[in-house]
Every structure is written in structure tokens, then in C-alpha cells.
Structure 1
């Protein structure tokens, strides 16, 4: 009888430990429900009263977030607005111009640039166009894809890895030398990437191989669980890159006196958009989305605020009213090592395929 009571006591104690420690730890590592709940009810407003005299560039401007963000910059008197996407954005340009005239405002100068994010040549062409700008105050990188089936880019990378990570990293490096605040902008120019809570559950499959290329491991995924997490996996690679880029920009500014630039990530939360609508057919993704889904306009406002952050936002993940922590696995020693490996591998890829990035990488070496 005493032995049975001891067993029961041990089981109860184990259950208490699991409920009080194990479950919270699991959610902290893999499912940030607290941020989803907070974002669902948050109602951020645009923090910058006017973008008068400034230049704003938005990639993925044909998407739910990008198009709305572009309109926000225009409504707040941006002088020059650069719209970038694969699709034809002339209708969006016309809509923004007509809206300005209808409301008695002068329309911004709108440049429409098209790009296939899986083409190095087309991305390189954008870098050359950016070099001709007088100023470049705000760069908001919303371009991305969500693929439920494994496909390869012309360069042999899984398409999510190529578009969400490699192409975004390439464009950021090409734009970086031309980021310059306009005379009326009191803050350093800002370059903002888009991140997602999907990085957390994707960490299940984010282990670094003992040998060989990490990027190739992430790109040689299989259909099923890994492909289901591929959006989060590709965004995790981008977040590693973003943090390393921010750290190197800081070091280079101190050591070499390069222009101070704010590099950060923006978390728009979740919303039903053209990108995520396929998830409505899948029970678990639909339930998760519904925990935090909100109007895409709110997410666009959050992203515009991130791309307008003061230098205190440098290296941060910007949310509605605060900053968010990096996922736990990224803050461990193994995560820091993975970050260095991601940086070195993307450097090798881009210096080979887009040689002009070598000068930027060299600039960011602050030894």
C-alpha cells in the first residue's frame, strides 16, 4: 500500500512539474501565443505625422501588406514612392495618384520597378536604379512567397529559400550603400525586413548539419512537415541575416565611419491575405491563424512604423507598441554559431552570383 502511495505521489509530482514548467517552456520555445493574442486586439496608428520630402521604397508592393504600406506613405506626403513587385503595379500607381488628387494633395513621384526575385540579374538592376536616387529614407522589404509544395528556382534553390532569404538579402545589400536620409528627416534611414511568428514552430527543423552547407540543407527539404514549415524556416534564415547585418552595420559605423543606418525587422502579425488564404483549407493552420488574424491594414501600419523607427529600433524586432525578443533558439550559443554560418554562406553565394556585393561585404568587415 505504501509503495502504491509513493508511486501515485511521484506521478502527481511529475504531472505538476510538467504542467507548471514543461508546458510553459514548450510554448516559449515553439508557439508564442501571447504575441498572437496581443496582436489580434492591438490597434496601432501611424506614428510619423509626415513623410514630406522623403523617399520610401516598398518591395512586394502588389501584396496585401506592401500595397497598403505604400498607400500609407503616400497619404503622409512622401515625396518619392518606389513600388517594386513581379506584377504590373501601374494600376496601384494610378490608384494612389487619383486618391491624392481627390483629397486635394499633390501626388508623390511614383516609380514602378518590376523584378523577378529569383533572377540575380533583375535584382542587380534594381541596385543600379537605387544608386540614382537623391535620398532613400525608408526601405520596407515585404516581398515573399508561401509555397506548400517543394519547387526549385532556376538557380537550384527551393523557392522559399531563394525568394524569402537569398533575394531579400541580395536586395538589402544592393540598397544599403544608397540609404540616405533626406534633409527633412531627423532620423537615420531605415531598412526593414518582415518576420513572422512561424519561425518558432519551424525551429523543430532548423538544426545545423555537422558538416556541409546549412543553406543547402534548408533547401533540400522534403514535401510534408519540412515544406509545411518552409516559410518559417526561410524567414528564420532571414532573421539570422538581419541580426548579423545590424551588428555589422553598427561595428562598421564605429570603425569606418560609414553612414548610420537602422536595420530592423517588423512583425505584422497574421492576416488572411492572398498569401495565407490556402491555409483556410487546413484545420491546424486555420485554427492557429484565427488566434491572431486581423485586418491587413493593421499589419501594414505596424510595418510602416517599423520602417520609420528611430535608431533605438536598430537590430530589434518591432511589434505594434513594443519590441519582441528573438526566438530562444537564436539566442543560444548554437544559434549564434548558426548566424555566423548563415552570414558566411550567403556571402559566398552572393559574391559568386552578384559580384558587386563583395564591396558591401568588405565594407561590413570591421576588423
Structure 2
């Protein structure tokens, strides 16, 4: 169960233009968090449960699958862009398990490309057909693009990190709700976000349409990844309110896995990529330790609903998120997102009713 920080943390001083300046408190927190040992749930916590992990072929996703298998999950769906990568991940995890662990878990390789709405839709349809229950969804797949690349009419970071991520969540809601009713449990949707949201300048909030502004190649800056992570947090906060209003017993949360030595930044420009990777060598968490944050969020209780987790604790979001401007943007982002998803999949928002 995640702990809650009782005191507010003033991480940034923000100007009227939302420039984020790193404060000593933020630096102190990062260095504190990076060397913390993130605890895992008790053995057997996921006994009998079905879990989906996206982006599961490398890094945090792969190690999260390994943890879920060792913690007693009955069925783990290993979701990757290609079934070959998913199968390789399954083989990697299986060979690391004891004979008893391997016999107890069913690891399945499924393909899903978050850069394709059709692929996400096919995955959701398959889940509805083939899964008899779904207890946890860990949406780990994401990109940190350094250059503009359109996918499904939007910049790739927005398509993958935001639109397809929540399209998948909406598609899986009926199965999650069914599981809650049939097994008297409270399923979890955990979205892997980042403390990068603290740095988001988010100039697009001043445009008539936020998502339309994010489509403009001219707006592609170093801020795009930060904005995508901020949008995830805004959507989860609003989604949690809607689920509560509808009395839908599903926990949705976001989490910051910290700085981890993974392949997330492989798409950044050469110089920037090596600068980032150099820093990760010095203070980066291992993929195993970063993956523990994913598993802990998936095991967390309703006290984490709509919240942001850091090192297994409910942690304050940026001051912008809780500001009046942030609240206004949250409503706009939610409304625009519903419109986009309804255009992709007519009737999808009925899954929230």
C-alpha cells in the first residue's frame, strides 16, 4: 500500500509563463528517491489475477512482468509492438523463474502498436474476447521523441503517450468493471508518467484547441515529452473524478518510476541522448528497481485513486496542476480527449457510464 506525504512540497517557482526552475528541494528529492529501495508487494499478492503490461519487451515493462510472475499472477499479457518481441520477452522471463513459479503463471505474447489506433482497437477487442477477468493494467509503453513524427494525425509523443494510452484504458473499462463485480475486487489502471511534468511549459494551453496546437510541427520543442506527461496526469485526475461520480470501483493512478537506465531516450538526438545516458549511469535506477514502482502502483489501494505516486508514496504534483489555470486546462484536455476518442471509436465514452 502506498504511503501519502502529509506535507506539501514546493518543488518549483513558476513565472507567469510557467517556466520551471529547479529548486533545492527538487534536487534533494531526486537524489533521495534515486537511492531508495522500493518495496514489492507481499509474495502471492497477485495470486489468481490477470495483468496486462504494455511496452513489456525491454526495461521497466519487462522487469515488471518478471515481478508479477514471481508474485503469483495467474496470467500476464506481455504487450509489445510486435509479437516476436513479446515472445522473446516471455522466453526471457520464463527462464528466470523457478519451476514452481513458471508452472503457476500463464505468460502470453500479444502484439499492440500504440502508434496505430487500429492496433489498439484490435488489442481491446481481443482482450474482451479472450480474458475472463482483468485485475491490473500497467500502461508503461511510451516514447520520448526528439523530432516531429506524425502518427495518426498527431505528433508521436501525443499519439502514443496520451491518445492511445487512454484509448486502451477506455476499451478495457468494461472488462475491468466486470471483474470488479464478479470477483468483489477493485482493479487498477496505472499510467507510467514522470516528474518531467514539473518542467512542462505547456504554451498550448493558451490556444483555442490544445490538441490541435500540439499537431503543429512548428510547435515541436524540447517541451513535448514534458507536456505529454503533464497531460497524462491531468487526464487521470479528471478520469478519477468521473469514475467516482459514476460509482465505478476502479482505481486509476499515475506514477513516476524515477530516472532509470532504460531505452526510453533512444529516440533523442545523438548529443542529448548521450548526455542523458551519462547522467543515468551516475544516478539512474536499475530497470528492476524502476519496475518495482509499476508493480507497487498496480497493487495500490483506493487511497491512490487519481493520485501521483513517487517511490511508492502518494506525492504532490506540480503546483501548476493544482492551480486555477491547471484546473481549467484539466477540464479542457478531458473534453478534447473525449471528442478525439469518440471520433476514433464512436460510442467509446459510453464505457464511462
Alpha-carbon distance in 1 for matches of 2:339, 2:265: 32
Report how far residue 310 of structure 1 moved.
1.0
Secondary structure at the aligned position of 1:281 is classed as helix
Residue 108 (structure 1) aligns with:
105
Alpha-carbon distance in 1 for matches of 2:237, 2:160: 18
- Structure possessing the higher relative contact order (Cα contacts under 8 Å, 6 or more residues apart): 2
- Residue 68 of structure 1, aligned match among 63, 67, 81: 63
Report how far residue 76 of structure 1 moved.
1.2
The TM-score normalised by the length of structure 1 is 0.82
Report how far residue 102 of structure 1 moved.
4.3
Report how far residue 98 of structure 1 moved.
3.1
Contact (CA 8 Å) 2:12, 2:319: kept in 1 or not? no
Q: CA RMSD in A?
A: 2.7
How has the CA–CA distance of structure 1 residues 104 and 292 changed in structure 2, closer, same or farther, with 3 Å as cutoff? closer
5+ residue gaps, structure 1, are 1-21
Alpha-carbon distance in 2 for matches of 1:144, 1:291: 23
Secondary structure at the aligned position of 2:115 is classed as coil
Residue 33 (structure 2) aligns with:
39
1:269 and 2:258 aligned: yes
- Residue 249 of structure 1, aligned match among 235, 243, 264: 243
Alpha-carbon distance in 1 for matches of 2:174, 2:125: 11
Alpha-carbon distance in 1 for matches of 2:57, 2:74: 20
The number of residues matched between the two structures is: 331
Q: For residues 1-367 of structure 1, what are the structure 2 equivalents within 5 Å?
A: 25=13, 29-31=20-22, 32-50=26-44, 51-87=46-82, 88=84, 89-102=86-99, 105-132=102-129, 133-153=131-151, 155-179=152-176, 181=179, 187-202=185-200, 204-210=201-207, 212-222=208-218, 226-253=220-247, 258=248, 260-276=249-265, 278=268, 281-282=271-272, 285=276, 292-361=283-352, 363=353
Alpha-carbon distance in 1 for matches of 2:228, 2:39: 29
CA-to-aligned-CA distance 1:313-336 (integer Å, 9 cap, x gap): 111111224111121111111111
CA-to-aligned-CA distance 1:25-69 (integer Å, 9 cap, x gap): 359954332331122111112123211111111011113110000
5+ residue gaps, structure 2, are 1-9
Alpha-carbon distance in 2 for matches of 1:286, 1:53: 38
Alpha-carbon distance in 1 for matches of 2:101, 2:329: 52
Report how far residue 227 of structure 1 moved.
2.7
Contact (CA 8 Å) 1:100, 1:106: kept in 2 or not? no
The TM-score normalised by the length of structure 2 is 0.85
Contact (CA 8 Å) 1:198, 1:229: kept in 2 or not? no
Report how far residue 93 of structure 1 moved.
1.3
How has the CA–CA distance of structure 1 residues 228 and 267 changed in structure 2, closer, same or farther, with 3 Å as cutoff? same
Alpha-carbon distance in 2 for matches of 1:52, 1:281: 45
Alpha-carbon distance in 1 for matches of 2:276, 2:264: 13
